[in-house]
Structure 1
């Protein structure tokens, strides 16, 4: 089986307050840089065959200390991009709370798109197809994928058999690791939202 370590990027100044989406130029803040360094230390010694990342700045910066410590290059992959939030990109979350489309997006993720953006189903399909491609490329190896909270949550929900409309029951914190093993005819979820290395 292929072991995939799904890592949410570390914190930025927008984390928890704004929908950064695919906006350029959003890097890690001071806390995020410390989180990324600590994360690299947690992964040291694991037999990681490859490191993949969403091509956005905050994910690449989270992957960089891991890649440096392990002596590997980070491979950008658009399959693991953040949701396309369209008109909501860069907006403050508090300023969207009275938007009926935003409320529906959060209430029924399986059927409601972001305004001018994509459906959660599209983001989930991207993630799962990307992970399945890694399963075929890296049989019996461990790989790292650095991505974004909601797409990681959607992938975990898919492999756990949880409907998208219930995926808010899962928590994916910044710099957390969710570990999944993917085989030809089996899936094992080893850890979800781990921030202390208990999955290793």
Structure 2
């Protein structure tokens, strides 16, 4: 089983300003965002990470850098984990965008949404590249790895929708707050979504057991009835 911790970047000046930042360069964490990231860094400090992979955008690199600090891993970037390419929507305010007819498509039928302009992409494309990134890193890092991917709200929601077996048109039902973690464990049979939008609490269950306790291959089967939960 390979486990990926999906971390959304901390709150930014664009978030508080109600601006759709997209791939706009130079968007930084605000004071609250920096505090959020410091807190999640402390929460994850004891979780061994085989890799820390980030969207190339500054707000994610800042966030990932805090989590990687003091570890034997460097932050690597992957454009496939970058923000959705919102095209001509980039830099506009949400209050302006809600008046655009495309807004309803994004809300109600996102699989058909393609953002305008030469730099725009469809949300289906966003999902395809992000899921491909996770799958390829899983393959590279191996079946026992726990690794972290730092990305953006819509991107993480799209990855979670895929892991949950949801059509992309349902992904707006998922909430991913700034500096939250969501966790997916990938097995030979199916992914297991372990956490969604987790912004606090104990993360010790994410620490792999000592190797001597791994006597058998982890099962891909779901526990009928729900089981007793994770024990540490």
TM-score in same-fold range (> 0.5): yes
Query: Which residue of structure 1 lines up, in the alignment, with residue 8 of structure 2?
Result: 8
> What SS does the corresponding residue of 1:46 show, helix, strand or coil?
coil
Unaligned runs of 5+ in 2: 207-232
Segments of structure 1 that go 5 or more residues without pairing to the other structure are: none
1:27–1:57 CA contact under 8 A, matched in 2: yes
- Aligned-pair Cα RMSD in Å: 1.2
Equivalence for 1:23: 24
Q: What's 1:81 paired with?
A: 82
CA deviation vs aligned residue, 1:122-165 (integer Å, no higher than 9, x gap): 00001110000011111211000000000100110011011111
Displacement after TM superposition at 1:198 (Å) = 4.3
1:119 equivalenced with 2:100 (yes/no): no
Asked if 1 retains the 8 angstrom alpha-carbon contact of 2:60 and 2:151, the reply is yes
Work out the number of aligned pairs and report it.
200
Q: Greater shift after overlay, 61-70 or 45-54?
A: 61-70
Ranges of 4+ aligned residues in structure 1 off by more than 3 Å: 197-200
Alignment of 1:23-172 (within 5 A): 23-116=24-117, 117-139=120-142, 140-172=144-176
Q: Which stretch shifts more, 117-126 or 189-198?
A: 189-198
Deviation at 1:74, TM superposition (A): 0.3
Structure 1 position 174 matched with structure 2 position 166: no
Alignment of 1:182-193 (within 5 A): 182-193=186-197
- Residues in 1 aligned to 2:162 and 2:84: alpha-carbon distance in whole angstroms: 16
For 1:106 and 1:167, how far apart are their aligned partners in 2?
A: 9
Indicate conservation of the 8 Å contact 1:101/1:115, yes or no: no
For the Cα contact (< 8 Å) 2:38–2:66, is it kept in 1?
A: yes
- 1:107, CA displacement in angstroms? 2.0
Aligned to 1:195: 199
* Aligned 8 A contact 1:176 1:195 in 2: yes
Structure 2 distance, partners of 1:189, 1:104, is 27
